[in-house]
Every structure is written in C-alpha cells, then in structure tokens.
Structure 1
C-alpha cells in the first residue's frame, strides 16, 4: 500500500511538472504537442512491439478510441496554449476545475440526475474563476483557453469510462495516443494556416525537454499510475489526482517565481476553487462510508 501510494504521488508530481516543461519549450502549443505525441507514440509502438503486447481491437473501437485521443490532443494544445498566453499557474488553476466540471457534465452524458450540492460547488469554482479573471485581465486569453482545456479533459474522462471496462488500459492508451497524433497531424495544417504558424523545428534544448516530457512525464508516469491502481482504492486515486495542479503551481512559484505577478484577489479566487474541490472530495468520502 505504501509503495503504491508513493508511485501514485510520483506520477501526479510528474504530471504537475508538465506545465513547467511547457513553459521551457520554445515551440508553439500545436507543434509542442505534435512532437510530444510523435516521440511518445513511436516509443510505445516500439516498446509494445518488442514485448509482443499489442492487442488487436475491432476497427470501430479503434476509431472511437482514436477520436477520444484527438480530443485529448486538443486538450494538451489548449493546456499549453494557456501557458503561452498567461503562465503555468493560471493554466493549472483552470485545470483544477475539471473535477467539478466532470460532476456537472457526467449527468448529461451518462443520463444521471443532477446533484444540487455539486451544482453549488460548481458555482463556487465559477466564482473563483470570475474573481481571478476580473482582477487579472492581462491573463484573460490564457484563462479562457485554460477553461476550454479543462472542459476537453473532462470530455475525455467521461468518454473513457465507456471503454475502460472493455479493453486493457495499456491498449486504450496506445490507440488513444496514436489517434491523437493522427488527428492532430490532420488538423495541424489547417490550424497553422488560420493562425499563420510556420513549420517549426525544436531547438537542441527543446529536444531534451520533449524527451523528458514524452518518456518521463507521459510513458513512465502511466506505468507508475497503472501499477499503483492495483493496490489503492479509487477514492485514494481521485484524492491524489487533485494534487496535480497544486504540485505544478508550487513548482511554477519555485522555478519561475510566478507568485510575484499575482495580487491577493488571485489567492481569494484560487481559495474558492480549492474549497469547492475539497468539499467535493469530502462528500465522496462520506458516500463511500
């Protein structure tokens, strides 16, 4: 149990570190995600091929999982776009609303009843975002893109719930990331044309950050995450996952000193969001017991 918890926290910490890498890499958000997926997908196919662990899935399932992967890729594009237009802290603050957005979106997709208490918590989170937005208008574009990023990751989470009981997580990850790479490759020329973004090649130092992002923060963290799930409860997993934005924000404060650009209103807004997330988590605990 202790080892599994350490593995999960290590995975979540490394996921929080992806925001820092996003700021360090000089590429635009679309090319950053494209190269990340290129390295990750090529590495996974090679790894699983050598281990003979590639599971054949029905074509319909591959297309469905690939579509989810494309949405995942767009989430990453928005996440890193939010960082480029604001900073790591703003992007992760917006991402921290995803658990509450999920509780509001799931009833629509899975045809469940809306929970009035969760709607109230969602309003708390919205209030926090409004406070941050109105008092940090220089980050307004980054906040909007960050909220779109949070919404997209919720959509991915909800859609994945329909597949997770059917196929192994490794197979879902392989085909999802592959679908994300293919989907983004198709959309990339259109995006670059509309926003006048030229073909970009990573600088020498960018390659180092991209390899770390792909191998350490994507593939290695996935293996840590999967191994930890064998010995911990779903609640412990969800509780620990809420720490991802916290780890990332603390790293941004430490490395980039981003805390120096915020006023007290930011901490009030962030506090409202964290309070909503904490109450949401506490309610899950009470339901479990």
Structure 2
C-alpha cells in the first residue's frame, strides 16, 4: 500500500510538471505583451478554479492571520511568471525554462532558513547536479546578447518562485491547494488588470485558444497539482523532482515549434533526470 501511494504521488507530481511545462511553448507562441499574457492567464485561471471550488464544495475562506502571507505569495507568483515569460521571449524554450531551474538550488538554501528545517547535504549535492545540467544547456554567456538577459530574468524568476513555494508550504496544512492557488491568481489579476487597458491586448481575439489552454491546463490544473504535492514532499524534494519539467518543455518545443536541442542540451537533460531519479528513490526509502 505504501509503495502504491508513493508511486501515485510521484505520478501526480510528474503529471503536474508535464502540464506546467506547456508554458514554455505557449509563452513563445502567444504574440502579446508579457503583462497582458499573464493578466489574461490569471483572470481565466481564477475563473476556472473558482468554478472547480464551487463544484467540489471547497471552502475559499481564509483566516485574517494568513492573508498577508497569501497576498505576498501571489505577488511573488506574478513576478515569477512575468520575468519567466520575458526570459522566453528573449531566448527560446530551452533557455527560458532551464534558467528558472536554479530554483531547486535556491530552495535548498532557503528552506532551512525560512521553515527551520534541517539542512540536508544530499539536497545540496542533488541541486548542484541540477546546476551542472543547466550549465550544459545554457549557451556561452555574453553580456551583450539577449540570451544573457534571458538567463538573468530566469534566475530572478527562480528566486521569486522559490520564496513563493516556501510561503505556500506553510499554508498547505490549513487550506486546500485550489484555495491557495485561487487567491494567488486573484492577486495577480488585480495587479495586472489596469495594464490590460493600457497595453495592446487586441491580440486576444485571435489567440484566445492558446491563452485559455495556458490558463486551464498549465495554470489551473498543473499548478494546483503541484501545490497539492507540497503536502506529500518537502519543498526541496518537490523542487528537485520538478526538475523534469524542462525536459518535458523542450520535447514540446521540438514537436510544436521545431526547436531542436543540441548535444549539450541532451547531456544537461540527462544530468537533471539523474537527480530526479535519485531523489525519487530517496523519498520512497
């Protein structure tokens, strides 16, 4: 029974990673200003999640003492999405997605400080393995090219994502994952709503299908499944297991955008997958 439960947990987080990984190809494909894309993404996803919570009778009420943390997590999530999509626009699916996967390393350092957990040397070693994989996947650094800027946006995005995950981890015992994700989407929607009227958002009429896909599949379903995994794994473990996401994203980019990975990309992906397999075995034991 324990083995079956563990396998189910691993399957769910991998499914979450596959859904979330569609953000790379969709972020490259949708032709609108980044704040507009994220604004519509949050609005539509909030609607879908609210409908789901009503259907499943999931409470969306939160205690006053938790509001500040949940609002802050929403702001961080919005900053993560915006900077991540700028990284995608400035480079490609591989560079955009892989640059944010410094977040398992950041999480490994931040979790003991924020959640007062014991620092595990193995997590640091696995995070360094992920970093080595990213080294092979990122091209030569040049401060004058857009790829370097993309990596900078990606690393800042990773920092926002790591802190957001750690804050959310403190709330998952008290609230359903859909509730937490819905409030974060509401915060992002409110923050970006004015920009939908200031920036050019006319492209939504011809690109509503990929935007709705981004909102429903990538966000409402994918990110909610990922938040639910926080109940079953530590944040660092979930982060390292989630490192399979770029592999899925790159494969989707190959199929739909014809972005063929290089040999170094394959080597980097193999290193990342190695870290995922090792951590999967460790969490089972």
Query: Secondary structure at the residue paired with 1:96?
Result: helix
CA–CA distance in 2 between the matches of 1:237 and 1:111?
A: 17
CA–CA distance in 2 between the matches of 1:110 and 1:6?
A: 26
Please tell me whether the aligned partners of residues 98 and 151 of structure 1 are also in contact (alpha carbons under 8 angstroms): yes
Please state if 1:94 is matched with 2:95: no
The aligned residue for residue 22 of structure 1 is 27
Q: What's the CA shift string for 1:224-254, capped at 9, x where partnerless?
A: 6689x6xx96499777633221111111122
Cα deviation for residue 6 of structure 1 reads 5.8
The alignment's C-alpha RMSD in Å is: 3.6
Q: What's the CA shift string for 1:245-275, capped at 9, x where partnerless?
A: 1111111122222226x5x55555x25xx53
Cα deviation for residue 24 of structure 1 reads 1.1
Distance 1:50 1:141, change over 3 A: same
CA–CA distance in 2 between the matches of 1:128 and 1:4?
A: 25
Structure 1: gaps (5+ residues) = none
Distance 1:53 1:288, change over 3 A: closer
Distance 1:113 1:153, change over 3 A: same
Please tell me whether the aligned partners of residues 130 and 243 of structure 2 are also in contact (alpha carbons under 8 angstroms): no
Please tell me whether the aligned partners of residues 36 and 199 of structure 2 are also in contact (alpha carbons under 8 angstroms): no
Cα deviation for residue 7 of structure 1 reads 5.5
Please tell me whether the aligned partners of residues 74 and 184 of structure 1 are also in contact (alpha carbons under 8 angstroms): no
Describe how 1:11-160 pairs up with structure 2 within 5 A: 11-49=16-54, 52-126=57-131, 129=134, 135=140, 137=142, 138=145, 139-160=147-168
Please tell me whether the aligned partners of residues 99 and 277 of structure 1 are also in contact (alpha carbons under 8 angstroms): no
CA–CA distance in 2 between the matches of 1:12 and 1:249?
A: 12
CA–CA distance in 2 between the matches of 1:202 and 1:122?
A: 40
Please tell me whether the aligned partners of residues 21 and 245 of structure 2 are also in contact (alpha carbons under 8 angstroms): yes
Distance 1:110 1:281, change over 3 A: farther
Please tell me whether the aligned partners of residues 74 and 152 of structure 1 are also in contact (alpha carbons under 8 angstroms): yes
Aligned length: 275
Give the TM-score normalised by structure 2.
0.78
The aligned residue for residue 202 of structure 1 is 203
Query: Secondary structure at the residue paired with 2:62?
Result: coil
Please tell me whether the aligned partners of residues 8 and 225 of structure 1 are also in contact (alpha carbons under 8 angstroms): yes
Please tell me whether the aligned partners of residues 55 and 171 of structure 1 are also in contact (alpha carbons under 8 angstroms): yes
Please state if 1:163 is matched with 2:171: yes
Please tell me whether the aligned partners of residues 100 and 158 of structure 2 are also in contact (alpha carbons under 8 angstroms): yes
CA–CA distance in 1 between the matches of 2:134 and 2:120?
A: 21
